[in-house]
Structure 1
Amino acid sequence: MSDNTAEKKGGGTKARKKGGPIDTIQNIILVLGFGLLLGSILLPPAFRDTMSAIVNIIVSPINSTMPFYIAVLIIVIIVTVFSTIIQKYTMDWELSRRVMLKNRAFQKEYREAQLSGDKKRLKKLEEERLSMMEEQAEMSKQQLKPMGFIVFVSIPLFWWAYWWLMQPAQAGMTMVFPLIGTVRLVDGFLLFPYWVWWSLLCSLAVSSVVRKALNTGVVTS
């Protein structure tokens, strides 16, 4: 009963917010973000080069005062803090927690019904699965909106890093990786260049710290 009451209250809150200025801004940035992603893939290289040159004007104060790999770390910290704050205030984490807990309980009960061969119980659970899909769809929509913000920032930075390292003056830039040694950042390893692996490692480490510091995420225990 308490879950249903919370759901109704949560649904009412969401219903009042829909169509408001914040929701409109989120939708615009979502469209721009994924439009930028598609444009960077489908449009001629001149589009990416122009975008990267514009980004270079913004990030050059950071990049010009420290090694590239440290600049990447600083940029990752900025982007991660930015995206985590957006996720914190655009997503209903209580809904996400509730859906995850329900799914966990449902899967456990469904397995037990299968093992016991209880067809009546399985039929009831199948009906319950349909009712759960609405909440799951709402959670998926909420997860999609912050992606627009994240893509809007991360895609230009990704292409800037690629563009910058492809410049003749930077082509030989190296970095010392643990257990590997000195490598060129533009050389490939398991389908990706080393600079991409470095940015991913930075992102994973920073994201964990920032999420904990800002208390963002789903706690299910």
Structure 2
Amino acid sequence: MLEGIYAFLDSLFGPFITGYHPMWVITVAGAIIGGTYTLIYYFFTDIEKQRHMQKLAKELQKEMREAQKSGDEKRIKKVQKKQMELMKMQSELMQQQMVPMLLTLPIFWIFFGWLRRWYVEVGIVKAPFNFFLFDWFHKWQHSALPPDQLGYVGWYFLTSYAVGMILRKFLNMG
């Protein structure tokens, strides 16, 4: 089944992959996928409810610190009860956030399996110095890339993260 999907992706994006430098291909792919993930998250979660709960959690933490400093057991129990209610609300929000994750996870695995066929041991970008995190990641992944090069996975995550952060700021998602 995956071979059929990969063949479709090859026919759709093959000329782009073979015609451009891998850095541009992964940059565009990261921007598209990162933007798509952010938009799916935006439309399937209640951002205002999330902000409200974050504000409530900060207030409860402050209230708990004050209650602990004063040593008022009754007040501490009251704050703990409020924290339990907040945890129930957060549980509901986490269930709501499962929908975007379940929608995006198959896209992620299919997409990365397909890209792996093209760029498995290709250095996408080269840093002007040996970067210890690149070296650590390459050893972890058993990659043959030197510590001054970043492969498709690393470059994708950097691109996708940057696009996602910009889009989150633009959509006022926090």
Alignment TM-score, normalising by the size of structure 2: 0.79
1:149 to 103, 113, 118: 103
Mapped partners of 1:128, 1:63: distance in 2? 54
**Cα separation, partners in 2 of 1:176 and 1:164, compared to 1, 3 Å:** closer
Identity within the alignment, %: 25
Q: Once the two structures are superposed, what CA deviation does each residue of 1:162-200 show, in whole Å capped at 9, x if it has no partner?
A: 22234xxxx5x434422337xxx9x95352453221111
Q: Once the two structures are superposed, what CA deviation does each residue of 1:119-171 show, in whole Å capped at 9, x if it has no partner?
A: 111111111112112210111112211112221222111111222234xxxx5
Asked if the contact 1:80–1:210 (Cα under 8 Å) also holds between the matched residues in 2, the reply is: no
* Aligned counterpart, 1:127: 81
Mapped partners of 2:138, 2:116: distance in 1? 15
**Cα separation, partners in 2 of 1:114 and 1:56, compared to 1, 3 Å:** farther
**Cα separation, partners in 2 of 1:163 and 1:50, compared to 1, 3 Å:** farther
Mapped partners of 1:109, 1:61: distance in 2? 60
**Cα separation, partners in 2 of 1:177 and 1:130, compared to 1, 3 Å:** same
Q: Please state if 1:100 is matched with 2:49.
A: no
Mapped partners of 1:175, 1:211: distance in 2? 26
Mapped partners of 1:199, 1:120: distance in 2? 52
Q: Please state if 1:206 is matched with 2:160.
A: no
Q: How much has 1:111 moved relative to structure 2?
A: 1.6
Alignment TM-score, normalising by the size of structure 1: 0.64
Gaps of 5+ in 2: 144-149
Asked if the contact 2:64–2:79 (Cα under 8 Å) also holds between the matched residues in 1, the reply is: yes
Q: How much has 1:212 moved relative to structure 2?
A: 2.2
Mapped partners of 2:101, 2:35: distance in 1? 14
Q: How much has 1:98 moved relative to structure 2?
A: 0.5
- The alignment covers a number of residue pairs equal to 162
Residues 66-81 of structure 1 mapped to structure 2, 5 A cutoff = 66-81=20-35
Q: Once superposed, what is the RMSD of the aligned Cα atoms? A: 2.5
Q: How much has 1:91 moved relative to structure 2?
A: 0.9
Asked if the contact 2:31–2:163 (Cα under 8 Å) also holds between the matched residues in 1, the reply is: yes
**Cα separation, partners in 2 of 1:117 and 1:190, compared to 1, 3 Å:** farther
* Aligned counterpart, 1:18: none
Mapped partners of 2:85, 2:46: distance in 1? 19
Mapped partners of 1:66, 1:60: distance in 2? 10
Q: How much has 1:49 moved relative to structure 2?
A: 5.7
Mapped partners of 1:142, 1:70: distance in 2? 35
Residues 26-105 of structure 1 mapped to structure 2, 5 A cutoff = 51-105=5-59
Q: Please state if 1:217 is matched with 2:173.
A: yes
1:174 to 118, 123, 135: 123
Gaps of 5+ in 1: 1-46
* Aligned counterpart, 1:15: none
What amino acid maps onto 1:178 in structure 2? A
